[in-house]
């Protein structure tokens, strides 16, 4: 028999990094964000950071405004402020859409699981660890 769930019990979450990949051929990438989803806490959030100097060192001709716009779209999708089908989708569907493999300049890394009491704090911790 399963133990009863308490409100303060740790909850499973999933996360993925967001990477800028300026050239598929070169295989270079830089982490610019983290997306975290926790179904049990009804949480989907992201944190992003564009460091223009580091990104230009990776690719001098990179369209930084395009990168910023793509990351703003991710943020809008997480918050439900996006237009179209994503706005009407569940948090889980949005997370799956954001973490689906793609060959654009902004690419998600693999999805990893974890346990947390506080998804927002965990997002901050992962962001500091993986992006900053």
CA 68 vs CA 4, 54, 64, 123, 126: distances in Å: 44, 14, 6, 20, 20
* Rg over CA atoms, the chain: 16
pLDDT block averages, 10 residues each, the chain of length 132: 62 97 87 97 96 92 93 88 73 94 90 97 98 90
Say what the pLDDT of residue 86 is.
73
CB 36 within 8 A of CB 119: yes
CB 71 within 8 A of CB 50: yes
Say what the pLDDT of residue 24 is.
80
Say what the pLDDT of residue 10 is.
93
What is the 8-class DSSP label of residue 82? -
- What global pTM score does this model have? 0.88
Q: How far apart are the first and last CA of the chain?
A: 43
Could you tell me which of 18, 10, 11 has the C-alpha nearest to residue 108?
18
């Amino acid at each position: 028999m399963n133990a009863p769930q308490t409100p303060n019990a740790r909850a499973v979450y999933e996360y993925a990094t967001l990477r800028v990949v300026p050239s598929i051929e070169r295989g270079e990438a830089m982490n610019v964000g983290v997306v975290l989803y926790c179904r049990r806490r009804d949480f989907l959030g992201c944190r992003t950071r564009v460091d223009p100097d580091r990104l230009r060192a990776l690719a001098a001709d990179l369209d930084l405004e395009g990168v910023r716009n793509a990351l703003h779209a991710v943020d809008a999708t997480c918050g439900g402020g996006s237009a179209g089908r994503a706005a009407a989708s569940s948090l889980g569907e949005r997370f799956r859409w954001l973490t689906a493999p793609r060959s654009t300049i902004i690419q998600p890394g693999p999805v990893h699981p974890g346990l947390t009491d506080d998804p927002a704090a965990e997002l901050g911790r992962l962001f500091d660890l993986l992006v900053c």
